[in-house]
Structure 1
Amino acid sequence: MERQYKHLTSPITIGRTTFRNRMFSAPMGGTDITNDGCIGPKSTAFYELRAKGGAAAVTVSECMVHKTDGSHAYRLDESILNSLAGATYTADAIRRHGAIPSLELSHSGMFAGTYMTDKTRQHELVQYGPCDTTRADGVKVKALDEEMITEIVKAYGHVAGLAKRAGFEMIMIHGGHGWLINQFFSPLFNHREDEYGGSLENRCRFAIRVLKSVREAVGPYFPIEFRMSGSEFVEGGYGLEDGVEIAKMIEPYVDIIHVSAGTYQKTFGITHPSMFEEHGRNVFLAAEIKKHVSKPVATIGGLNDPAQLEEIIASGKADIVYMARALLADPFLPRKVVENRPEEIVKCLRCFTCMAERAATSTRRCTVNPLIGRELEGDEITLAPVKRKVVVVGGGPGGLYAAYTAARRGHDVVLFEKEKEVGGILRSEQALPFKHEMYELSGTYELLAKKAGVTFKMNTLATKEVVEKENPYALIIASGSTPLVPPIPGLDGDNVVIVNNYYKEKEKVTDQVVVFGGGLAGCECAIHLGMEGKNVELVEMRDELAPDANVRHRLLLLAQVNKYVHVHTGLKGVKVTSEGIECVGSEGKNVLVKGTSVICALGQRSTTKTVEELMNSAPYVRVVGDAAKVSTITNAVYWGYHAALDI
């Protein structure tokens, strides 16, 4: 057959190892890490799914190499019971699906303890870095002396040898993102006056010693990959010019130069490009470095579109593309690319649910993929023992995923949607360019559901009579929510647009606009309007904005708000007029926030009337998504998936 993306799907041989395509799974940390750093069975299944999905290499992250790094992450130590065994089972789980298992070796340096859920314990650790200093959070850092440097260098080699024994066939050395090796590279962190500081050559000395130690341990043909930041993108750090020189200095000791970006905490939305950044915004770093080296170069950064990936390889910007979040959203993305099924790819939304859950609860979850973090439950949908008639009410994300899942179980599924287009509340996202993938999600789910055999009945209100006429055994109610519009004078005026309807009424919004409501939806709409060049005022009764945003997305969101929007917190809107919103402050003072247009973004309420009407329309009834509780796309998809599995 002829591959649609022939460059992306072509093999690449490095040393004596052949990788089946150019799509690699980037380092992602597991979740069931034991207290002594062993890889648990949930994490093994987590990595295995990416291998089963067709990635050419799967990197397990992060394995800390030395006791001076107190981070709660993986350890590989023959003195720890099950350490080597857990690593071996994980490497085998990856390899048996045809992917090359790789282990990322790391040391957090002065940021040890990053992965601890209990951050108070982080302050109890002794932190080590290139220099004596005090971190921004007040934690003191001790400079590594020559003896400790030598010990850490040896530890890299020792752990690399253990990784090879466990069955890993590639080692990635983490030299970017503000971790220890990067701290030696960076003039932001490294102010040493000995052979490890000063000139760039000196600042590369520690990395080269590490790489020599690893090579000695694994042998001449074993692939060693070095992950680096092409630029730190921070004042006081190094830029791309130095990034090129670093790559040239480490090239003789590595087989792949993996070019990422940024430094710890300061550049989160660049290192992991947010929805406010362009896809592939860091590819130019790899492209420039590739001009100066002969070893294969890998790139990474918010990549999920096979057409873009193909162009990167075909044009010579990089030899390998890495994906992380994209392979959470759809672990089978590489197989879909290889099998010429790109239209079936469920794209990452860059919403940071995955990383927020890891920070908040030490679990993994993906908004669009309910398997993530629960891979041990199985990724295969088994046929139900009895084929049933299933009705799904509502074509939002929860309803669509429920219908798709029920059809894959072999049920006869009918989905009713009162509008002419599926998507539910996601339809409104088509108006916001940085959230367009959320709008596209419903189309992808619809395609998958139709291919699975779901019958769609559009423009049909699912009344009790309509549902009972189908005589279903199972009814999944995913009727969503409706906008909350309180009885505030003037809120029904011609100058008011409900945020859900903005995509249909954009022409009504003038250049002077007030967004009424500072939750997630209001903030994102305000940002978009500001990006369009409008003067945007944002009114919020509470003292903080977007408390409903996750911890990773919220900080990036607020940075955009500060850039594009004038914010008024602590104001209660009491009347909407042609001039704006009349408000009352906390001290009872009247304030007029001026604007000739008003966007109402005061929240959602569940469609309880629909739920009450339909509750007795089938033997099995489940309510999912906003119809059950106004929440997130994540919960809607997850609840819909399991509602279908339970039939």
Structure 2
Amino acid sequence: MIKKFPHLSSPIQIGNITFRNRMFSAPMGGTDITNDGCIGPKSTAFYELRGKGGAGAVTVSECMVHPETDGSHAYHLDTSILNSLAAAAYTADAIRRHGAIPSLELSHSGMYAGTYMTDKSKQHSMNQWGPSDAVRPDGVPVKSLTKEMLAEIVSAYGNVAGLAKRAGFEMLMIHGGHGWLLNQFFSPYFNKRTDEYGGSLENRCRLAIEVLKAVREAVGPGFPIELRMSGSELFEGGYDLAEGVKIAQQMEPYIDLLHVSAGTYQRGFGDTHPSMFKDHGCNVYLAAEIKKHVSIPVATIGGLNDPQQMEKIIAEGKADIVYMARALLADPFLPRKVMANKEEDIVKCLRCFTCMAERAATSTRRCTVNPLIGREMEGCDITKAPESKKVVVVGGGPGGLKAAHTAALRGHKVILMEKESELGGILKSEQALPFKHEMYELSLTFAKQCREAGVEIRLNTEASKELVEQESPDAVIIAAGSSPLVPPIPGIHGENVTIVNNYYLEKENIKDNVVVLGGGLAGCEAAIHLAQEGKKVTIVEMRKELAPDANVRHRPLLLKQMENLVEIRTGFRGLEITPQGVLCEDSEKQQHLLIGNSVLCALGQRARRDVVEALQDTAPYVASIGDCAKVSTITNAVYQGYHAALDI
């Protein structure tokens, strides 16, 4: 078999361990961490799926080595804690039995320890420890670690490393990036010490070297030790790439693999985890430059999900290994598909941050495009139904496509009726926004899955009650979606007005000066795109805040992206659309004419309840999913479609 991606697919030896390919699963935190820091069974299943999916290595994140100075609610590996070692051993085994190498990330949060996660009442009473006395941006005071404390921390790294090896982990990642403790010592911004741990670059690297020596002593020769570092802190006052190269050279004698990431707390979440507004692989240049100056293997990371791009990165010598996190949530089997030359079957990450927002909001894990994530213990394999039934799915959006594919895999005869000439539903409109094109691609991938599973797709077919009943289905899944909300504002049907859902069909109607009516997520993203095209854009929103429907991770990056691009008018209500623009009223009842030769209407969506009501008695089993049940998110549509099909 000739591999399409020979570099990605080739094994690599690090230390005494051979990894089956160059696609590694990056550290991702678990969700059912016990109160005393054990790895819960849901997290074990979560990590196992990455191993089953073909990754060369799977990193469990993150194990805090010294709870006395880092009270974060994270994993701990401690023989004094009942089940701690056993939980780690079961997790390492769950990964290894599928051929992946299990790795554990050892860490210390330093001044950013999340002590409040275990007991929020102690957030300001428990000490935060860092290189130097300081006050965090959130007002929490930080105390300088004493030399005695540093010695304890170094010893703790070695102790936990030995336990990790005993548990069956075959590689260790030492976290020295992203603003955690070792990064804080590297950084001239954080580290103001005047002893042998501060000042010169050599001194600032001292703690990390002591840690790495302690880990090596615990695990012995040949056991792979990986250091994760930020190639640059990416903010004024932090270290830059040139100094990142020097730090890497200082670390090189003590490690087997250098993992180059980017950014810190000071610069922000969107650099370490590149958003949809950034290019895929935007941080690869950091690894590529550092690799020129070291002789050990170098790994890179940052919004990577395209096999062709990743293959090129390795082929051109920019890195030896590519790490993925979100991409392996969206499709845990991405590595196996690459190895099998089936890259066209990959379900790509949308970089929508649902996964991370859900952790912040509910302490669970969820993925927009993959309903298995966070629920792996319920079973990852779709089994055949005891009896094959006839299923009609109404609507070819993301929820309907997921339902149809799942039902077909269950062995049912599935007919999908779509009233328009193209599948995709609301995702069709995303093809007009370059930074959201992967959402449009999702509809193509889901449609391909349906066709290959044997779903009969009927386009240009509006599912009336009579038409559906003619099929005598055993089950009907209604995924009719939503329709744009178009309120009776005078002038809203004028030639200068485009509904946001139709923008991809009517791009030529949008001139150089645009008023976007509606500041929800859809309106804000459209405004950013239009402004990036060089148009003058004003966004109008009745509420005081923009994009309240965006998740907690995506929203700050969205608002940041709008700065200096879009004129924002919140607290403005549209009264009338004229050829000159939009007449608005502010909270003081004062009227304003916002000038624009084009108006984009993005005032929300309305559930298509009429379709649900018409079809609710067309079969013994009827389920309504997605927007037609309640206007919500792609995440809910996909999840509901998947489970509605499993229930047949």
Counterpart-to-counterpart distance in 2, 1:440 and 1:125: 48
Counterpart-to-counterpart distance in 1, 2:321 and 2:432: 33
| Partner residue in 1 for 2:9 | 9
Counterpart-to-counterpart distance in 1, 2:271 and 2:554: 12
For residues 372-391 of structure 1, the C-alpha deviation after alignment (integer angstroms, 9 at most, x for no partner) is 00000010000000100001
Q: Which amino acid aligns with 2:15?
A: G
Deviation at 1:453, TM superposition (A): 1.2
For residues 538-594 of structure 1, the C-alpha deviation after alignment (integer angstroms, 9 at most, x for no partner) is 000000000000000000000111131000000111100011111111111111111
Q: Which moved more, 1:122-131 or 1:157-166?
A: 122-131
| Partner residue in 1 for 2:72 | 71
| Partner residue in 2 for 1:196 | 197
| Partner residue in 2 for 1:606 | 607
Q: Which amino acid aligns with 1:383?
A: K
Counterpart-to-counterpart distance in 1, 2:643 and 2:227: 41
TM-score w.r.t. the length of structure 2 is 0.99
| Partner residue in 2 for 1:592 | 593
Q: Which amino acid aligns with 1:20?
A: R
Counterpart-to-counterpart distance in 1, 2:523 and 2:571: 15
Change in CA separation of 1:336 and 1:163 when aligned onto 2, cut-off 3 Å: same
- The answer to whether the Cα contact below 8 Å between 2:72 and 2:114 also exists between their aligned partners in 1 is yes
Deviation at 1:83, TM superposition (A): 0.4
- The answer to whether the Cα contact below 8 Å between 1:160 and 1:217 also exists between their aligned partners in 2 is yes
Deviation at 1:464, TM superposition (A): 1.0
* Pairing 1:171-570 to 2, within 5 Å after superposition: 171-264=172-265, 266-570=267-571
For residue 561 of structure 2, give the secondary structure of its aligned residue in structure 1.
Answer: helix
* Identical pairs, percent: 74
Deviation at 1:116, TM superposition (A): 2.1
Counterpart-to-counterpart distance in 2, 1:540 and 1:234: 33
| Partner residue in 2 for 1:21 | 21
Deviation at 1:114, TM superposition (A): 7.0
For residue 558 of structure 2, give the secondary structure of its aligned residue in structure 1.
Answer: helix
| Partner residue in 1 for 2:144 | 143
- The answer to whether the Cα contact below 8 Å between 1:526 and 1:538 also exists between their aligned partners in 2 is yes
For residue 415 of structure 2, give the secondary structure of its aligned residue in structure 1.
Answer: strand
| Partner residue in 2 for 1:46 | 46
Q: What is the root-mean-square deviation in Å for CA atoms of aligned residues? A: 0.9
- The answer to whether the Cα contact below 8 Å between 1:117 and 1:362 also exists between their aligned partners in 2 is no
Counterpart-to-counterpart distance in 1, 2:433 and 2:505: 12
- The answer to whether the Cα contact below 8 Å between 1:393 and 1:476 also exists between their aligned partners in 2 is yes
Deviation at 1:123, TM superposition (A): 2.7
- The answer to whether the Cα contact below 8 Å between 2:116 and 2:122 also exists between their aligned partners in 1 is no
| Partner residue in 2 for 1:641 | 642
Counterpart-to-counterpart distance in 1, 2:634 and 2:527: 21
Counterpart-to-counterpart distance in 1, 2:118 and 2:539: 34
Q: Which amino acid aligns with 2:350?
A: L
Deviation at 1:235, TM superposition (A): 1.2
Q: Which amino acid aligns with 1:45?
A: A
Deviation at 1:448, TM superposition (A): 1.0
For residue 101 of structure 1, give the secondary structure of its aligned residue in structure 2.
Answer: strand
For residue 105 of structure 2, give the secondary structure of its aligned residue in structure 1.
Answer: strand
Deviation at 1:124, TM superposition (A): 3.1
TM-score w.r.t. the length of structure 1 is 0.99
- The answer to whether the Cα contact below 8 Å between 2:115 and 2:122 also exists between their aligned partners in 1 is no
Counterpart-to-counterpart distance in 2, 1:588 and 1:326: 48
For residues 64-111 of structure 1, the C-alpha deviation after alignment (integer angstroms, 9 at most, x for no partner) is 000210110000000000000000000000000000000000000000
Counterpart-to-counterpart distance in 1, 2:476 and 2:352: 30
For residues 101-147 of structure 1, the C-alpha deviation after alignment (integer angstroms, 9 at most, x for no partner) is 00000000000017828655433321000000111111010000100
Q: Which amino acid aligns with 2:361?
A: A
Q: Which amino acid aligns with 2:278?
A: E
For residue 7 of structure 1, give the secondary structure of its aligned residue in structure 2.
Answer: helix
Q: Which amino acid aligns with 1:60?
A: V
For residue 8 of structure 1, give the secondary structure of its aligned residue in structure 2.
Answer: helix
Deviation at 1:25, TM superposition (A): 0.2
Change in CA separation of 1:267 and 1:552 when aligned onto 2, cut-off 3 Å: same
Deviation at 1:620, TM superposition (A): 0.4
Q: Which amino acid aligns with 1:270?
A: D
Moved over 4 A (4+): 117-120
Counterpart-to-counterpart distance in 2, 1:541 and 1:114: 39
For residue 427 of structure 2, give the secondary structure of its aligned residue in structure 1.
Answer: helix
Counterpart-to-counterpart distance in 2, 1:48 and 1:185: 34
For residue 475 of structure 1, give the secondary structure of its aligned residue in structure 2.
Answer: strand
For residues 335-388 of structure 1, the C-alpha deviation after alignment (integer angstroms, 9 at most, x for no partner) is 000011100000000000000001111100000000000000010000000100
Q: Which amino acid aligns with 1:42?
A: K
Counterpart-to-counterpart distance in 2, 1:117 and 1:405: 39
Q: Which amino acid aligns with 1:423?
A: G
- The answer to whether the Cα contact below 8 Å between 1:13 and 1:19 also exists between their aligned partners in 2 is yes
- The answer to whether the Cα contact below 8 Å between 1:73 and 1:115 also exists between their aligned partners in 2 is no
Q: Which amino acid aligns with 2:49?
A: L
Q: Which moved more, 1:218-227 or 1:450-459?
A: 450-459
- The answer to whether the Cα contact below 8 Å between 2:39 and 2:84 also exists between their aligned partners in 1 is yes
Q: Which moved more, 1:552-561 or 1:263-272?
A: 263-272
Deviation at 1:427, TM superposition (A): 0.4
- The answer to whether the Cα contact below 8 Å between 1:390 and 1:473 also exists between their aligned partners in 2 is yes
For residue 195 of structure 1, give the secondary structure of its aligned residue in structure 2.
Answer: coil
Counterpart-to-counterpart distance in 1, 2:18 and 2:202: 33
Deviation at 1:259, TM superposition (A): 0.2
- The answer to whether the Cα contact below 8 Å between 1:412 and 1:454 also exists between their aligned partners in 2 is yes
Number of residues of Structure 1 aligned to a counterpart in Structure 2: 647
Counterpart-to-counterpart distance in 1, 2:239 and 2:79: 38
* Pairing 1:81-120 to 2, within 5 Å after superposition: 81-113=82-114, 116=117
Q: Which moved more, 1:117-126 or 1:463-472?
A: 117-126
Counterpart-to-counterpart distance in 1, 2:116 and 2:146: 25
Deviation at 1:267, TM superposition (A): 2.0
Counterpart-to-counterpart distance in 2, 1:180 and 1:119: 22
Q: Which amino acid aligns with 1:320?
A: I
Counterpart-to-counterpart distance in 2, 1:121 and 1:64: 19
Counterpart-to-counterpart distance in 2, 1:316 and 1:617: 59
- The answer to whether the Cα contact below 8 Å between 2:36 and 2:81 also exists between their aligned partners in 1 is yes
Change in CA separation of 1:255 and 1:115 when aligned onto 2, cut-off 3 Å: farther
For residues 459-514 of structure 1, the C-alpha deviation after alignment (integer angstroms, 9 at most, x for no partner) is 11111111111111000000000000000100111000000000100100110100
Counterpart-to-counterpart distance in 2, 1:354 and 1:400: 21
- The answer to whether the Cα contact below 8 Å between 1:463 and 1:614 also exists between their aligned partners in 2 is yes
For residue 548 of structure 1, give the secondary structure of its aligned residue in structure 2.
Answer: coil
- The answer to whether the Cα contact below 8 Å between 2:297 and 2:319 also exists between their aligned partners in 1 is yes
Counterpart-to-counterpart distance in 1, 2:448 and 2:291: 39
1:37 corresponds to 2:65? no
Unaligned runs of 5+ in 2: none
- The answer to whether the Cα contact below 8 Å between 1:53 and 1:335 also exists between their aligned partners in 2 is yes
- The answer to whether the Cα contact below 8 Å between 1:117 and 1:359 also exists between their aligned partners in 2 is no
Counterpart-to-counterpart distance in 1, 2:115 and 2:144: 19
Deviation at 1:188, TM superposition (A): 1.1
Unaligned runs of 5+ in 1: none
Counterpart-to-counterpart distance in 1, 2:38 and 2:126: 20
Change in CA separation of 1:431 and 1:139 when aligned onto 2, cut-off 3 Å: same
- The answer to whether the Cα contact below 8 Å between 1:113 and 1:125 also exists between their aligned partners in 2 is no
For residue 491 of structure 2, give the secondary structure of its aligned residue in structure 1.
Answer: coil
Change in CA separation of 1:635 and 1:559 when aligned onto 2, cut-off 3 Å: same
- The answer to whether the Cα contact below 8 Å between 1:23 and 1:55 also exists between their aligned partners in 2 is yes
